Structures are given as C-alpha cells and as structure tokens.
Structure 1
Amino acid sequence: MWKNRSINTANKFRKRLFGMGENDGFVFKAVVYLLLIGIGFVYLYPMLFMLVNSFMSLDDLVNSMVKWIPSTLYFENYAKALKVLDYKTTLLQTLLVAGVPALLQTVAAAIIGYGFARFDFPLKKLLFGLMLATFVIPTQITMMPTYLMFKKYELLGSLETFIYPAILGQGLKSALFILIFYQFFKRIPAVLEEAAEIDGAGSLKIFYRIAIPMAVPSIIIVFLFSFVWYWNETYLAGLYFGNELTILPLELQRFADSYNKVYPPGSPGNQLNEAINLAGTMLTIAPLLILYFVLQRWFVEGVDRSGITGE
C-alpha cells in the first residue's frame, strides 16, 4: 500500500510538472511565459526608452545617475516638438494621406478579390499571376516610370498620386490585400450564393448583402494594414507630393532642419537634444498607438478569424 501511494504521488507530481494528455505541465507553461515575456520586452523596450527619455531635461540626459526615472517630467520637449512639426496641420494632412487611399484600396481589393474568387473568365490565371507579380516586383523598379506618368498628367503635388493607384488595385501592397480577400471569399460556401440566386439576387446584391458582411474581419485587417503602410510611406510621399503635401514621418525626417529654422542658432532654447527628437518621434507614432488601442479587440479578432499574421 505504501508503495502504491508513493507511485501515485510521483505520478501526480510528474503530471503537474510535465503535463499529461491535453493538460500542459508547469515546465511547459513556464517556458511559454518566459518566451512571451522575452519577446514582449524586445518589442516594448524601444518604446519605453523613447517615452522615458522624451520627458527628460538636458541635465537628466547628461547625468549618468539618471537612467529610467527623470528627476522631473520636462514637458518643454513636447512643446518644442509640436511647434517644429506644426503638429495640428501636419496631422490632418497625414490622416488624409493615409485614410483616403487606405479606404479606397480596401474597397478595390475586396471587389477584385471577390471577382477572382467567385467568377471564371478568360485569362483568369494569367491575370491572377500578373497581379501577384506586382507584389514581387520591387517598388524601386516602377517608381520612376510612375513618376514620369504622373508628371505627364500633371498629378504631382496632389493626393491623386495615391488615390488613383488605390482605386485601380495598384496601391501599396494591393496584391497582398487582394490575395487576403481572395482566400476569404473562396471559403464562403457556394450554397449561400446559390440560394440567393434562386431568390432572384444578382451578383452585385450577393456581393454587398452576403459576401461583405461575412468579410468584416478581413476588411478590418486590410484597412488597418493599409492605413499604417500609407502612414509610414515617406519615400513615395516625398517624391510625389513635393512641398504641396506632407506627413508626420516625413516631417520627422526633416526634424533637425526644421528645428534650426524655428529656433535659429543664438536664440533661446536653440539646442536640439535627444529628448526633443524622441518627443517628436512619440508624437509621430502616437496616433497609430491610439488607433490600435481603440480597435484592439476587433483587430485581434480579425487576425484570428482571417488567419493573417502580417509582415
């Protein structure tokens, strides 16, 4: 009896430690949590570093004793960064530059993806392959021909340089978004559309009454990813917009030159230190962070239901 009791105790301990069947043991859970904490720290460390240092005064920055806790919260860094970035005007332009093309690109990708998924037409495989090729071909190869085309039609310096490609399914990463919708619409049971056709619904009505409501997770994912990519696109924005339009990431690249114009050498507070630069960086990414926290639940649900992992 004593021996059996010892064996049962050992089995229970082994089960709790290593798990058994579908139950995960303590060792497995500990390893998973340690990995998640480590990965989370790698992602959060730069953000925490920027946030803490953006509130430091110049004295705190040069003081080797001050690491993570500023002696005082120095808000003057943000006041200067707001002025240098011309934040209100630049933010409105950035929301326009990122929001309008992202919305139009989402609509276009949904229509094109649905067409490839549910209809058969001549040269379908060829056109699908060419569409995927646009994702493989680097942007640098098509950049100059596109620039010359926009220049010929006098579109440079306007938002139309982003709008027209988005409408035609040639926006930033459009091929990827079309593929997302294509895979989603392929999984919709054909019997739903057949039942709608029996009730007299046409293809357009089936699309916006049946397919679109079911594709809400994919729509959320595509719009958010598209919005972020347009928000961070500085090279094409600088090339196409010139001095007519600007975005926050583009102004952040020009931060040092803009700072010297606002605070010329010899004027009070003309020294550009690391904390002011970090404050400008935080102001640039703050709208994206707010957007994520507001839409976090729908974003995670959309990723889970659509099977998209991002890049």
Structure 2
Amino acid sequence: MNLKSNMKKVSDSAAGPIHAIGGWYERYNPVEKAKHWLWIITRTVLLFGICFIILYPILTKVSIALRDKQDLFDSTVVWIPRNLTLDNIKTVFGYLNYTEAVRNTFILSMVTSVLQLISCALAGYGFARLKFRGSGILFGVVIFTIVVPPQTIMVPTYLHYRFFDVFGLYQLFTGKHGINLLESFWPFFISSGLAMGLKNGLYIFIFRQFFRSLPKDLEEAAYVDGAGILKTFAQVMLPNAVPAIATVMLFSFIWQWNDSYFVNLFAPNYTLLSRMLDLLPGTVRPEYVGGVSHMSLYLNTGTLLGILPIFFLYLFAQKYFVESVERTGLVG
C-alpha cells in the first residue's frame, strides 16, 4: 500500500512540472497567444455581422416608423431620426383598425392551430402505427402536398367554398347551388379540421416521424390493459408527444398569422396582414396620406406593428420552441 502511494506521489510530482511548463508555454508563447486572440476577434466580428444582417430590417423599420415626414428629405438622417414622433404609429393604428385586426387574426390563428393539431396528430399516428394496404402511397401523396404550390388549386378551392356542398345534399333538398362560405373564417376551419389546411402535410410528417420513434411497448401495455386505439392515442401517445405538439402548434400559429394568400382568397380585409396590404402605394385613402413620398413611413410602420405580436410570442415561448424543434429532429 505504501509502495503504491509513493509511486502515485512520484508520478504526480513528475507530471506537475510538465503540465505547468506546457501551460506556461501556451500562455506566454507569442504565436499561440496571437492565434488565441485572432480567433476571439474573428468570432466576435462574425457574430456581430450575422446579428446585424438579421436585425437590419427590423432596425430600419423602427427608425423609419419614428421619423417625421421632413426627415425623409434630410440626407443626414441615417439611423437616429432628427425629429422623433409617434404620429406614424397613431395614423397606421387608426387606419388598420389595429385592435380589431389583431383580435380577428388571433382568433383565426388559434382556432386553425388547434384544429390542425388534432387532425394532423390523428393522421400522423395512423401513418406511423396503423399498417394498411396502400398506406405508403397515401403517405407519398401527403408529402406531395408540401411541394405543390397553392396557386395550382386556387380556382377549384375558391369555387368549392363559394358553392359549398357535401355530396350534393344541400342542392338536393333546397335546389340551390351550395352555400357561400366566403367572407368568413369557415373555409379555414373546415380545411384545418380535415387536415387540408396550410402546411398540413409538414405537420403530418412531423407527427408520423415522432410517433415512429416511440417504443411499441407503450402501446402493447395499453392494449393488454384493454385500451383501444383511440384511448391509447389519447392517454398514452399524446402525453409523450409534447415536443411535436409544441412544434406544430407554434409553426401553425405563426404561418397562419403571416398568411396573406388564403386570407385574401377567402376572407379579404379581415386579418391584420390583409389590411396591411392596403398600405401599398396607391391604396391608402387620401385623408391618411400627405403625399406619395410619405408612403414608406406608413408601410414600414404597418409592417412593424404586424410583427410586434409575433415578437412578444417568440420572446416568451423561445425556450419551448427551441427545445421542441430539437426533440422532434428538425434540426440538422
């Protein structure tokens, strides 16, 4: 025992000076020190450059939104306005009827997100666990919906909700050519509830991949206890799919909030983004415009007000968003 402890002390005493000499060499060697500081400077410059590229559009919009009209013609004003004012925000706030537009957009985004979550989770679980003939072909069709541009089905989709009918039953009993569901949120709710809404192919794919990664022992144990497919899905699989649920919920909410194509097709002038399109040159009413050259003030201010709710959402849900994306395997 004493021999082993003595040998350990000798080895430690021998390694100590060597480690100290190596650390001293790396610390005081000019070449190593120069490489170390060069890497720090390069990393700092890259981080600041990337952050500036990402934040540049937002900083520009903030600067323009706070400018007075006369600052547009002042070449010395680059970032900080010479005459700070909130008149642009007040004007755009009233023109967009901002409170009502945000409320409508929030209701539409939240309801469609919940409906897409339910329908896509059921479809993803079916493709992951329920094997039936033609499931591979059907899943391929689902993936195909991700790459198909929505413009290719614009006309039939519009006519479908303009003369909405289920198997011709409405026309059979009333003699009318369907119900007009345009100028309402019903087209969004129906398509989302049937897993045919915005980006639903991607959400089904996320749920399918996540459910496939879960062990089958969970389902087998539930089946042994007498649970059926729906009960197993609701009480066993869904509680373990919290990362996928958070990812789909956030993606669905943000994409629906930023959607302008389907909103203008089915329910124009209802949501915030559709009203923001009225800020384009030549569309704003004369009482809100001091001249064509002032349109950039209102357009940038409206864009800033449009992304403000999403900014606060991401500010509070950033942790859950990053964790959910990492656990669903979307990164890399």
Q: Structure 1 residues 17 and 199, CA, compared in 2 at 3 Å: closer, same or farther?
A: farther
Deviations 1:10-35, CA, capped at 9 Å, x for gaps: 45678x959xxxxxx76666555543
Matches within 5 A, 1:136-151: 136-151=147-162
Secondary structure (helix, strand or coil) at the match of 2:100 reads: helix
Answering whether residue 302 of structure 2 is matched by residue 280 of structure 1, we say yes
Task: Pick one of 98, 110, 114 that aligns with 1:103.
Answer: 114
In the alignment, is the contact (CA less than 8 A) between 2:69 and 2:294 conserved in 1? no
Distance 1:39 1:76 in 2: 32
Gap change, CA 1:264 and 1:274, over 3 Å in 2:
closer
Give the C-alpha shift of residue 85 in structure 1.
0.6
| Map 1:49-64 → 2, pairs under 5 A | 49-64=60-75
* Residue 170 of structure 2: aligned partner: none
Asked whether the 8 Å contact 1:84–1:262 carries over to 2, the reply is no
> Structure 1 residues 283-292 or 210-219, which shifts more?
210-219
Q: TM-score, normalised by structure 1?
A: 0.85
Pairing of 1:1-311 with structure 2 (within 5 A): 9-10=24-25, 31-153=42-164, 154-242=180-268, 246-256=270-280, 259-263=284-288, 272-309=294-331
- Superposed CA deviations along residues 174-216 of structure 1, whole A, max 9, x for unmatched, are 0011000111110001112212222222222221222111111
> Compared with structure 1, are the counterparts of its residues 217 and 7 closer, same or farther at alpha carbon in structure 2 (3 Å cutoff)?
closer
Whole-Å Cα distance in 1 between the matches of residues 240 and 110 of structure 2?
23
Q: Which moved more, 1:248-257 or 1:182-191?
A: 248-257
Contact 1:84 1:255 in 2 (8 A): no
Q: Please, which runs of 5 or more residues in structure 2 have no aligned partner?
A: 1-17, 165-179
Kindly state the Cα deviation for residue 220 of structure 1 after the two structures are TM-superposed. 1.3
Q: Distance in 1 between matches of 2:44 and 2:151?
A: 41
Deviations for 1:88-114, whole angstroms, at most 9, x for unmatched residues? 111111112222112211111111101
Report what 1:21 is aligned to: none
For 1:22, the equivalent position in structure 2 comes to none
CA distance in 2, matches of 1:211, 1:110: 10
| Distance 1:27-1:166 versus aligned 2 partners, 3 A rule | farther
- Which is higher, the Rg of structure 1 or of structure 2? 2
Residue 4 of structure 2 aligns with which residue? none
| Cα separation, 1, equivalents of 2:86 and 2:220 | 62
Sequence identity (%):
36
2:243–2:323 Cα contact (<8 Å) kept = yes
CA contact (8 A) 1:50 1:279 kept: yes
6 and 148 in structure 1: CA distance in 2 versus 1, 3 angstrom threshold = same
CA RMSD of aligned residues (A): 2.8
Q: How far did 1:241 drift?
A: 1.6
Which runs of 5 or more structure 1 residues have no equivalent in the other structure? 19-24
Q: State the distance in 2 between where 1:221 and 1:83 align.
A: 34
SS across alignment from 1:133 = helix
Structure with bigger RCO (C-alpha 8 Å, 6+ apart)? 1
**The residue matched to 1:254 in structure 2 has which SS?**
helix
Deviation at residue 57 of structure 1 after TM alignment? 0.8
